Amino acid sequence: MPAIVNWLLRLLPTNPICMRLVQGGSRRLRHLYIRAGYLGILMAVLLLLMLGGSNANTFSQLATNGAKAFEYISYLQLGLICLLTPVFMAGAIAQEANPKTWDILLTTPLNNLQIVLGNLFGRLFFILALLFSTLPLFVAIQYFGGVPGEAIFMSYLIAGASAILVGAIAVTLSVTRTAGRRAVFIFYITVVMYLFVTYFIDAQFLRRSIAMGVYETTALTPLNPFLVIEVLLRSNTYAPHNFAGVEAFWLTKLWLGNPIVTFTWLCLSLSAILIAFSTLRLRVIGARTGTTSWLRRAFKLGAKGTGERPARKVSHNPVAWRESVARGATVQAVITRWGFAALGLLIAIIVITLFHAGLMGTVSKSAPAAVLKATADNFRVTLWVILSAEIVIIALTALNTSATAVSREREDGSLDIMLTTPIQPGPYLAGKLQGLIQFLLPMLCVPIGTMLLAALYVIGGGFGNHLATDAPMSVGATPITLPIVLPEGVIALALVLVPFIAFCVMVGLQWSIKSRGTIGSVIAAGGLVIAVSGVIGMCGAFAGRNGMGVLGAVLNAFNPINLVIAIVSPTTIMPDALNTGTGVAGTASSGGARVALMIGAALAAGVYVAIVYGMHTNMVRTFHMTVRRLAGQK
C-alpha cells in the first residue's frame, strides 16, 4: 500500500486511538443500555405526541401531530447534543494524561494530528450514534405526511455540525490545559449560558416584525443552533431576509438570507481551525508542570499544599464538612459561587427596575390592553429565561460535584484510606449529600431570591405600577387578569428546587460509586437526569395544553423549569387548568390552577424526598460490595 494512502487511512479509518475508543465503548453494556434507553424514550415521547389530542384518528390530524412531534424532538435532540457532547468529550486527552500514560502516548509513532483526530472522532462517535439512531423514527413519520424529508436531514446536519464544533472546542481546552475535567466543566456551563443569552437577545431585542406574527432573522441567528433550527422548522414566523432585487454584499446575503448554510460552514470551519491549533499545541501539554496559578499568587496563597493555616473546626460529620467547607475553600470556588449569587440577584433587581420604570414597554393605565400585554410578556419571558438558565447551571454543578465525589477519591487513593476508618456507609453517604447541598446553598438562593423579589414586588402592589397586579393575559380567546408573577410561586419553587437538586446529587453519588473514573460517572449521571427531567417536562407541558385541566398544573410542578414557566406565565404552559372555571363577565378563573400548582409542588417535593431516601438506603446496602470491589482501580 502506498505510504500516502496508509497515512491518510491512519488519520481516521484505521486510527488506533479511534478504533480503541469505538471498540471499547461498543463492548460495554452500559453504553448499550444508554443507547437503548435513549431510543426507547424518544420512541415513547414520539408515540405520545403522535397520538395526542382528541382527533388523532384522522390522517390530517396525524400529519399535524407528526409535524409537531418532529419539531419537539428536534429541539430536544439539539439540546441533548449541546449538553452531552462536552461531557463525553471531557476525557478526550485528560483521561490519557490522568493515568500517567501521556508520556507513553507521545513516544508512539502516532503524530499530533492522528492523536487529536483519534480522540475527537473516537469519542464523538457515541454522540453521533445517539443522534442518528432516531433517523428511522422520523423517516416513519413521513408515511403520515406533514414532515418533508429535506427538513429531517437538515435538522440532523445542524445537530451534527453543533456536535463537531463542541467536540473540537472540548479537545482544544483539553490540549491547552492539564486540568481537563475542570476546563470542560467550565466549558459546558459556558455553552448553556451562551445558548440562553444569545437566544434571549435575539428574541427580545433584535427581531424585527415584517408582518403580523412574522419576524426576520438577525445577525445572531447563524451563531445559535436553536435559532437556526427555528428558521428550519418555523419559517412561517421566523423567516430569512429576502434579497430578491436588492443589492447587498455576498456575506450579508449569506449571513441573513441563508442562516442554515452559514451556521454549518461556521461550525466546520471553526472546527478545522481548532483541530489545526490543537495539533500544533499538542506536545506542550506534556511539558507543563505544577506551578502556582496566577490567581493564588494574586491572593498570596502560594502553591497548593504548602504553607500553614489556622486549625479548622470540623462538624459532627467530617465528610459533610469536607464537602461543604474544604471543597469550597479555594479562591476559584469562593469567587465562582458568591459571584454567581451576587450577579444573579443583581440581574433580578435590574430587570424588576427596568419593568417598573417602563423601559420594557409602557405601563400607563391609559395604554391599550394589547400594548400592556406586550409589556407584561416582555418581563415574563425575560424573568423565566433568567430563572431557567440559573436552574440549569445549578443542576449541572450539582451533577458534576456529586458525580466526582467518590470516583475522585478512588482515583487519588484517598478512598482506600477512608475505608480503613470507623466511618460507616450511612453517615458517609449522608455526609456527602448534606455537604454538597450546603456547598450549593449560595447558588440555590439565586433563583429562589429572584422569585422572592418578584413576589414582594407584586405583594407591594408594584409600588404604584398597576401592571404588577393586573397584567392582561388570554387563554385562547378568553381574557384573564393575573399578577405579573404568582406570588405564592416562591414557596412552590423552594419546595421543589431543593429536593430536585438533592435528587441530582444522589444520582451523581450513585454513579460516582459505581464508576471507576470521574468521566464515566459524570456522563452517566448527567444523561440519566437529563432524560428523566426532559421526559417529565415534556409530559407536563403536553398535559397542561391538551385538555387535562388541573392535572396539567400538578404535573408541571415536577420539573423546576416547567414550574418557573407556570409561575411566571401560566397561560403558556397550563392554559387548560385556567379554563376549568369562569370568573366575572366571562373571564377565566385562575384559582383552581394556582391551588393545583401548589399541591403539585408539595407532591413533587415529597416524591423527590422519597426517591432520595430510597436511593440512600439502597446505596448503603450495596456500598461495601461495590466500593471495595472497585477500590484501588483507576
The pLDDT of residue 91 is above 80: no
Provide the pLDDT confidence category of residue 306 given band limits of 50, 70 and 90: very low
Query: What average pLDDT does the segment 466-472 reach?
Result: 81
| Residue bearing the bigger pLDDT, 605 or 367 | 605
Segment among 60-64, 240-244, 390-394, 489-493 with least mean pLDDT: 60-64
pLDDT band (50, 70, 90) for residue 544: confident
| Res 506: pLDDT | 92
Which residue ranges make up each domain of the chain?
Answer: 3-22+70-287, 319-630
Nearest to 561 by CA among 374, 384, 347: 384
Q: What are phi and psi of 49, to 5 degrees?
A: -70, -35
Query: Which band of pLDDT confidence, cut at 50, 70 and 90, is reported for residue 119?
Result: confident
Q: Is 611 exposed, middle or buried (CB count within 10 Å of its CB: 0-12, 13-18, 19+)?
A: middle
Query: Which residue would you say has higher pLDDT here, 631 or 124?
Result: 124
d(CA 70, CA 155): 10
Is the model more confident about 289 or about 78? 78
H-only helix segments in 282-368: 294-298, 318-321, 331-356
Q: Give the pLDDT confidence score for residue 634 in this predicted structure.
A: 45
Q: What is the pLDDT of residue 102?
A: 54
pLDDT band at residue 104 under the 50/70/90 scheme: low
What pLDDT, on the 0 to 100 scale, is given for residue 200?
Answer: 85
DSSP track, 222-238: GG-HHHHHHHHH-TTTE
Percent residues over pLDDT 70 in the chain = 78
**Residue 94's pLDDT band (cuts 50, 70, 90):** low
Stated length of the chain: 634
DSSP 588: B
Please determine, for residue 493, whether its predicted confidence score (pLDDT) is greater than 90: yes
Residue 532, pLDDT score: 86
Q: What is the average pLDDT across 492-509?
A: 92
421: which 3 cell numbers?
A: 476508618
Q: Determine the 3-state secondary structure of 63 from DSSP.
A: helix
Handedness of CA 329, 332, 337, 338 (dihedral sign): positive
- pLDDT mean across residues, the chain: 78
Q: What is the pLDDT of residue 586?
A: 36
Question: Please, which pLDDT band fits residue 359 given cuts at 50, 70 and 90?
Answer: confident
Residue labelled with grid coordinates 409542588: 601
Residue with the bigger pLDDT between 284 and 396: it is 396
Q: Which of 62-71, 431-440, 599-608 has the highest mean pLDDT?
A: 599-608
Residue 307 confidence class, pLDDT cut points 50, 70, 90: very low
Average pLDDT over residues 144-167: 84
Asked if pLDDT for residue 397 goes beyond 80, the answer is yes
Cα–Cα distance for residue pair 237/214, rounded to 1 Å: 4
Supply the pLDDT for residue 610: 95
Residue 333 has what pLDDT? Answer: 72
pLDDT tens-digit readout, 19-43: 877 777 667 776 677 777 778 877 8
High-pLDDT (> 90) share of the chain, %: 16
Strand, helix or coil for residue 582: strand
Q: Say if residue 504's pLDDT is above 70.
A: yes
Taking the C-alpha atoms of residue 185 and residue 382, their distance in angstroms, rounded to an integer, is 26
User: H/E/C letters for each residue in 239-271?
Assistant: ECCCCCCCCCCHHHHHHHHCHHHHHHHHHHHHH
* CA-based nearest residue to 407, from 508, 496, 337: 508
Residue 476 has a pLDDT of 65
Helix extents (H) in 51-111: 59-89, 94-97, 102-106
